[in-house]
Amino acid sequence: MPLPDQPSPMLDLKAFLPYRLSNLAERISQALSTIYAQQYDLTIAQWRVLAWLQQAQPLTAKRICQLTDMDKARVSRAVAQLVERRLIQRQRDAVDQRTLWLTLTVEGSDLLASAIPRALAWESELIANLSPAEYRELFRLLAKVEAGLTQDSPIDGDI
């Protein structure tokens, strides 16, 4: 706690990494979402569910929550909407009837076959001012920052 005669520390958000990364991620997500909202009638949550199922299926809704860092209600809504649109399907586990496995339908795979190239083209435009080496370095640095989240916090309880 600062002493009464000392000024309070100031936080420069432009130089505060958590703010910069959060703001950038939100801006990128919103900009990309216009493509799949306008052209494919998908929300951000629906897109993330489909994208993860394309990458690793079958998955449970619980696992999608973990992979996307979205809350259970948001994933449940997205899954229900995607099932209604017949883009994904649910199947009960043969052993544990409480478990529902999610997989893409043919229609879901077809939609992604169209949407993924558009998303990749958009990403290419976004990073056009980076060299290939800078792009690789960006991912290397992001991995280092992410690794810092998995380690014990360097900050002790003295604040």
* pLDDT one-digit tens code per residue, 14-61: 999 999 999 999 999 999 999 889 999 999 999 999 999 999 989 999
Fold adopted by 16-150: Arc Repressor Mutant, subunit A (1.10.10)
Q: Provide the residue type at 127 as one letter.
A: I
Per-residue pLDDT band at 7 (split at 50, 70, 90): confident
- Interatomic CA distance for residues 141 and 19, integer angstroms: 17
Domain assignments of the chain as residue spans, ordered by start:
16-150
DSSP 85: T
Per-residue pLDDT band at 159 (split at 50, 70, 90): very low
pLDDT digits (tens, 9 = 90+) for 71-117: 999 999 999 999 999 999 999 988 988 899 999 999 999 999 999 99
**Does residue 66 surpass a pLDDT of 60?**
yes
CA geometry: angle at 42 spanning 87 and 97, to 5°? 40
